[in-house]
Amino acid sequence: MQKKYTKFEMEVTDLSPEKAIQLLEGQVDKQRNLAKHHVKRYTDALSRGMWLFDGTPIKIDWYGRMIDGQHRCNAVIQSGKTIKKIVMMYGLDPDVFKVLDSGKTRSLGDVLKINNEARYNCTASSVSLAMKYFGDHAMQNSNIRLQTEDVLKFIDEHPDIRESVKKGMKAKHILPTGICGFLHYIFSLKHLDEADIFFDKLASGEGFIEKDPVRVLRDRLLFSKSEKARMTRLYQMAISIKAWNLCRNGKKCRSLSWRNTSNPFEEFPVAI
């Protein structure tokens, strides 16, 4: 096969649906299987005008065959939208294809660290939970991968979640830090002072009244750390919200539970 490019070249250009079709028709054989969830994520971002230029190039080998970029090309075709700015690399050694995508995928925490967010891993977890709680994603669906652009937008529009992450850290010996930040945030939206008091009591184990829901919650969560009483993160969040709701209504309790597997099935609780 004759070389189309005799030297390495780069350009920043647009990627239209027509151009994407041409690139897909000329891609190398034995491409990795198309990951539909990646295509959907990219398509959604393009359709909603949320696509961000990150410098990741479309790669073309020296024979003119695309060796990296099929997911973006398929998203452009499905959305009917043009990516206005994208890097094109031409003249790469075809053997580069063998080592593509062998590195570590960048996590949300990695992205927030690059953006100089304090407590970046905890913030990433708290924001992800908050976006599922307020959005169309079921809290029970752990397979939903949120788009980086949406996470950054959420933090920009809800900056107070940073303070909730900070305040929630005091109870990190009781609950995972991401859950702490998430719960404090959704509670603070209902009543900030009461959210602070709730977490102060949860963290310290002090200031309880008889049959205090926070005391019951704290004991239940601490007991769950033993091997025989493990509970899922979802269950931890559910009974925490139920304890908050009892406090808000001025009620007491002896126990906390969530019927997520029994009949009748109980929906994930909403903070009041």
Residues 17-59 pLDDT 10s: 999 999 999 887 655 677 888 898 899 889 988 888 888 899 9
Question: Quick check: 174 and 151 in contact, CB under 8 A?
Answer: no
Main-chain dihedrals φ then ψ at residue 89, nearest 5 degrees: -110, 130
Strand partners, 60: 66
Q: Quick one: tokens of 12?
A: 């920043």
- How far is residue 163 CA from its own chain's centroid? 19
Instruction: Flag whether pLDDT at 118 surpasses 60.
Output: yes
Separation CA 107–CA 162 (nearest Å): 18
pLDDT in the model for residue 136? 65
In this prediction the pTM is: 0.68
Separation CA 126–CA 184 (nearest Å): 10
Separation CA 73–CA 199 (nearest Å): 48
What residue ranges in 46-150 does DSSP mark as E strands?
58-61, 66-68, 83-92
Separation CA 204–CA 148 (nearest Å): 35
pLDDT in the model for residue 106? 65
Instruction: Flag whether pLDDT at 212 surpasses 90.
Output: yes
Average pLDDT, stretch 132-155? 75
Collapsing DSSP states into helix, strand and coil, what is residue 121? helix
**In terms of C-beta density within 10 A (0-12 exposed, 13-18 middle, 19 or more buried), how is residue 167 classed?**
buried
pLDDT in the model for residue 138? 64
Residues 176-190 pLDDT 10s: 999 999 999 999 999
Q: Quick one: tokens of 142?
A: 């752990």
Instruction: Flag whether pLDDT at 145 surpasses 60.
Output: yes
Collapsing DSSP states into helix, strand and coil, what is residue 216? helix
Instruction: Flag whether pLDDT at 100 surpasses 70.
Output: no
Least confident of 55-69, 87-101, 210-224: 87-101
Separation CA 225–CA 108 (nearest Å): 27
Instruction: Flag whether pLDDT at 157 surpasses 60.
Output: yes
Question: Quick check: 202 and 218 in contact, CB under 8 A?
Answer: yes
Instruction: Flag whether pLDDT at 141 surpasses 80.
Output: no
- For the chain, domains (ranges, CATH) are 9-94 (3.90.1530), 108-248 (no CATH)
Instruction: Flag whether pLDDT at 104 surpasses 60.
Output: no
pLDDT in the model for residue 143? 55
